[in-house]
Structure 1
Amino acid sequence: MKFSLVMATLGRSVEIERLFNSLVNQTYKNFEVIVVDQNEDDRVVKLVDEFRDRLEFVYLRSEKGLSRARNVGLKHIHGELVAFPDDDCWYKPDVLEFVAKQFLADPELRGLTGRSVDGNGVASQGRWSDQILTVDRYNVWKCATSYTIFLRAEAVIRAGQFNEALGVGAGTRWGAGEEVNFLLRVIQAPMYVRYDPNLRIFHPEPLMVMDDKAFSRARLYNRGFGRVLGLSGYPFYFVFYLIFRSVAGGMLSALRMDFKRAKYYWIAASQRFLGWID
């Protein structure tokens, strides 16, 4: 089974080199790296040339926008399995081998997701279940983010394209949620997707510092989160639960005198609501 790893990139170099080195060290070697470059300079071209003798590349360019880039990349996949590594994530040496074994052992499996951890193995980018789960529309929020999703190519084809109004660089208010929106179409097909917490992908925790950048990210990401809830027709009680969870986090942070984190949670709650009614 061959992997097609679709990596969109803008503005990064050192992080890409880290990812490429982690791919060179994979114990499972049957994969291609589809690089979709959105830079105006040649920083990524230089890295691709540097690693070309060790990795199989398909090099492409696209207009800005993460979903746009992924849609360009999906037109060029050759593998039976497809993944969407971020340009700042990286893999343990046995990640592709672990994933391939899961798909080979279970012909009914159409998707496998895992958790995100930082370089020390601590959970990053959200809350993650500790249990193996069949992914559904209610637990998907604690079972997947873009770079922890692996799908059979047939599931990708069935799901169609990423919604280009969602995601980083889309030019809209909805700066995230495109991967969950995409995965929900796989689940609702219906196709069997499993979450395994033993599948761990490295990614830095973006909320180590509560600053203006974190607040801006909270606005875009949570409005996108809310938009997906609206597009997918989630019932009010579930939307209320997700909003109230952020409100509760803000209240607890305020009681601890952590007012910056309280502000972050308030932004998250309000933007989820606004995204939902958009």
Structure 2
Amino acid sequence: MKFSLIMATLGRSREIERLFRSLAEQTYRNFELIVVDQNHDDRVTAIIDRFKDDFQIVYCRSEKGLSRARNVGLQAVSGDIVAFPDDDCWYLPHVLEFVAGKLGSDAALAGVTGCSVDGDNNPSQGRWSTSPLTVNRYNIWTCATSYTIFLRTEPVRAVGGFDEQLGVGSGSRWGAGEEVNFLLGVLNAGYKVCYEPALRVCHPEPLAIYDEKAYARGRLYNRGFGRVLSLNRYPMHFVLYVAARPAAGCVVSFLKGDLGRARYYWIAATHRVLGWVDQG
């Protein structure tokens, strides 16, 4: 089985080199990297030139917007398994081998997801389930993020593409959630996806510091979260549940005197609800 890894990139160099080095060290070698460049300079092509003999690289360009870039990348896919590494994530050496083994041993399985860890193997980018699961519309939020999703090409083609109104750089109010919305489309089409906590992809923890940049990111990302809840017709009780969790975190953080964290949790709670009620 051949992997097609779609990496959209804008404004990064050092992080891309880290990802490329991790791909060069993969124990499973049958893959292509589809680079979708949104920069106006040659920073990416210079890095590609240094790694072009280590693995197959397909180069594309697109307008800004993560979902737009991934849709461009999907047009270049030639593999049997599709994944969407972020330009600031990196793979441990056995990641592709693990996924190939899992999908190769179960023909009924359309995809596998894993969890996100930082460089010290601590959870990053949110909460993660600790047990293997069959992914469904309720546990999906602790089972998948874009760079931990690996899908056979058939369900990817069945969904058709990412919603370009969702995600970073979309120009809309909904700055995240495009990958969960996409994966929900796979599940809604009747495909089976499993979550394996042993499958780990590395990504820095973005909330190490609670500053204005983190608050702005929290508004966009959580509003996108709420928008996905609305698009996929989640019941009100679940919307209240996912808003209540950060609201409770706000109260606890406030009582501990951690005002920066409390503010972030309040933003998360309120913008999840705003995203759900916002019809565009």
TM-score by length of 1: 1.00
- The answer for unaligned runs of 5 or more in structure 2 is none
Amino acid at match of 2:236: F
| 2:161 aligned residue | 161
Query: 1:260 — aligned with what?
Result: 260
Question: Which position in structure 1 is the counterpart of 2:205?
Answer: 205
User: Is 1:51 the equivalent of 2:51?
Assistant: yes
1:151 positional shift: 0.1
* Secondary structure of residue in 2 paired with 1:147: helix
Give, in whole Å, the separation in 2 of the partners of 1:193 and 1:273.
28
Counterpart of 1:39 in structure 2 is 39
1:122 aligned residue: 122
Aligned-CA RMSD value:
0.4
Structure 2 residue aligned with 1:9: 9
For the pair 1:105 / 2:105, whether they are aligned, the reply is yes
2:189 aligned partner: 189
User: Is 1:237 matched with 2:237?
Assistant: yes
Distance in 2 (CA, whole Å) between partners of 1:53 and 1:81 is 22
Deviation at 1:127, TM superposition (A): 0.2
Deviation at 1:95, TM superposition (A): 0.4
Residue type of the alignment partner of 1:84: F
Matching residue's letter, 1:65:
G
User: Equivalent residue of 1:273, what SS?
Assistant: helix
Q: Classify the secondary structure of the residue corresponding to 1:27.
A: coil
Supply the AA of the counterpart residue of 1:246.
Answer: P
CA distance in 2, matches of 1:74, 1:141: 24
What secondary structure does 1:196 align onto?
A: strand
CA distance in 2, matches of 1:244, 1:130: 22
| Residue 159 (structure 1) shift | 1.1
5 Å matches for 1:265-276?
265-276=265-276
- TM-score between both structures, scaled by the size of structure 2: 0.99
* CA distance in 2 between partners of 1:256 and 1:204 (Å): 26
Is 1:64 aligned with 2:61? no
Shift of 1:223: 0.3
Deviations 1:45-75, CA, capped at 9 Å, x for gaps: 1001111011101100000000000000000
Following superposition, the deviation at residue 156 of structure 1 comes to 0.2
- What is the CA distance between 1:160 and its match in structure 2? 1.1
Aligned match of 1:147:
147
1:94 corresponds to: 94
> What is the alpha-carbon distance in structure 1 between the residues aligned to residue 38 and residue 17 of structure 2?
16
SS across alignment from 1:129: coil
SS in 1 for 2:90: coil
Instruction: Report whether the alignment pairs 1:24 with 2:24.
Output: yes
Q: Matches of 1:174 and 1:32 in 2, distance apart?
A: 30
Give the Å deviation of 1:240: 0.2
Provide the C-alpha distance between the structure 1 equivalents of 2:236 and 2:190, rounded to a whole number of angstroms.
23
Partner SS state of residue 271, structure 2:
helix
Residue aligning to 1:82 = 82
The alignment covers a number of residue pairs equal to 278
Within the alignment, does 1:174 sit opposite 2:174 as a pair?
Answer: yes
Residue identity opposite 1:48 in structure 2 = I
SS in 2 for 1:201: strand
- Per-residue CA deviation, residues 165-200 of structure 1 (Å, 9 max, x unaligned), is 000000011000000000000011110000000000
**1:139: Cα distance to partner?**
0.3
- C-alpha separation in 2, matches of 1:230 and 1:92: 35
Large movers: runs of 4+ above 4 Å: none
SS of residue matched to 1:207: coil
Give the counterpart letter for 1:67 in structure 2: S
5+ residue gaps in structure 1? none
Secondary structure in structure 1 of the residue aligned to 2:20: helix
